[in-house]
Amino acid sequence: MTTSLSCFKAYDVRGKVPQVLNEKVAYAVGKAFAMRFGAKCVVSGHDARLSGPSLQKALMAGLEAGGVRPVDIGLCNTEEIYYASALRDGTNLCFDGGIMVTGSHNPADENGLKFVRGGAIPVSGDTGLNDVRDLAAGILATDAEFPAKPKDVELADFRDGYLDFVCRTAPLSSSAAGNRRRRLKIHIDPGNGCGGLLARPLCERLGLDWTGANLNPDGTFPNGVPNPLLPEKRAETAAAVRAHKADMGIAWDGDADRCFFYDEEGRFLEGYYLVGLLAEAMLKQHPGSKIIHDPRLCWNTIDIVSSLGGIPVQSKTGHAFIKERMRAEDAVYGGEMSAHHYFREFAYCDSGTLPWLLVAGLLCTDERTLGERVHEREKLYPCSGEINSRVEDAAAVMQTVQKRYAAHAVAEEHVDGLSMTFDKWRFNLRSSNTEPLLRLNVESRGDKSLMEDRTSELLELIRK
């Protein structure tokens, strides 16, 4: 094993276990987190991965060594850590921070750590994570031994409280429930991750007809990596939706902070169009509010928000940027095409539960199916979806693209990569933060052939 801290990324910790992330590293990170933020009480939990419990124990031992009272909520979703971190006892926060042990959508032999401060405020490289890394490196260099588990841990369970919260927040279970025009049938597939911990009791509590597959958390992931974005992961859920004649299908990644949708025909839906649907749902609850979107694909979202009397606001891509902008604007909702959806009522955090409840609420009071609703928007604003290209010099390629199209563009932005707008189409081209990749998104106004032609044209230029 190594004590390398290459596991520290821009917003979290990720790496193979035990080669990159192991108990000694987890201990050092816990102690460093306590030192950097002066925390006194921190809540933590873990996802279904087999390495989760031992890493969490070492993490809590480190927190304890740093003067923290660790609180353990055990097997959970990431959003349960966010919920607990935002809890208040009167006017005071109950916790000074929260740490989730999760590998998210990555393979079973990888794991990681996600951090928030009290109030569920995100921690990134610019707001303390780099300091935690440097402190942890010092602890690893000086602490010859470390306890494998903490001496005194408080056990807690906030799940019922969180379920109550989402039921109050989503209209499916409130006054709108009495206005349902039809009873929904839903198929759920957590992929042996943690999504079923919340989805199963919610389906039962809300009186939904539902079927499910791969419901039980299993860190060996016997049915494949819990990443619904992989094309090979979609066939099973699509077939089940059709077989059970469900109104929609929902799948989650490993820690269930993202959910993905299938329509009644089993078609996997592009996340971009869900942002528009969720903006509609939130504006029905909060008329005239601000909605945050990223610049990769935006015309559909802007159209829906503006037509409903809301205010669209653009933000740089990434959870730290979205959450910061939402707080600054007091926005009610923020959405990314990557299936991260953020809500003001949820301390501006991303949830994998509120989106499907809100979409279900829309469907219950609409004669149109989910597929019909999304298809309408696809015709108005067809898009390429995100396409990755491996390049040697991303900056040089982006400069070439900019020069090629500059004479015909009616607008050009550099909020997040390069965005160029023309009369009937637009594109965004941005670099990956972690890989030598360029990510391309193209959309048009009601002209699918134009979108496809421009996408092919751009890809040929990028990959030349």
Annotated catalytic residue 85:
no
Beta bridge partners of 252: 259
If residue 133 lies in a helix (H) or strand (E), which one and from where to where?
helix 129-142
Cα(358)–Cα(365) distance, rounded to whole angstroms?
A: 11
> What is the separation of C-alpha 210 from the centre of its chain, rounded to a whole number of angstroms?
24
Contact 30, 99 (CB under 8 A): yes
* Helical (H) or strand (E) element with 243: helix 234-243
The CA–CA distances, whole Å, from 303 to 243, 253, 280, 292, 311 equal: 35, 29, 11, 13, 10
Residue of 54, 104, 419, 431 marked catalytic: 104
DSSP 11: S
Q: b/e per residue, 317-355, with b = 16+ CB within 10 A?
A: bbbbbbbbbbeebebbbbbbbbbbbbbbbbbbbbbbbbb
Cβ-Cβ contacts under 8 Å for 64 (sequence gap 6 or more)? 30, 70, 150, 151, 152
Q: Catalytic residue numbers?
A: 104
